[in-house]
Structure 1
Amino acid sequence: MDMASGNDIKAHTSTYSGFLGLVKWGIVITALITALVVFLIS
């Protein structure tokens, strides 16, 4: 199995930044939906 070369670090950084953005917004949306459901149940 070959290791990835260091020549494409800019592409990796861009992909990782996009992934972190999706995770951040996913957590926010999940928290809002959870709060709404708890509010509706109570």
Structure 2
Amino acid sequence: MRAENFVLQGYFDRIGFKRAPKADITTVAQIMRCQLFTVPFENLDV
């Protein structure tokens, strides 16, 4: 996937991820937790 307008640090700032990113499962879990509590999700059944 390539997105020319995606800024990783901007995403981390938006979700409140303040640690240094590493390529490990602990970091992925922390990023997912930050996103879970920051980015709203609504599942609407119309």
Which TM-score tier does this pair reach, normalised by the shorter chain?
Answer: 0.3 to 0.5
Name the TM-score, length of structure 1 as normaliser: 0.37
TM-score if structure 2 supplies the norm length? Answer: 0.34
Give 1 or 2: higher helix fraction. Answer: 1
Answer 1 or 2: higher relative contact order, Cα 8 Å, separation at least 6.
Answer: 2
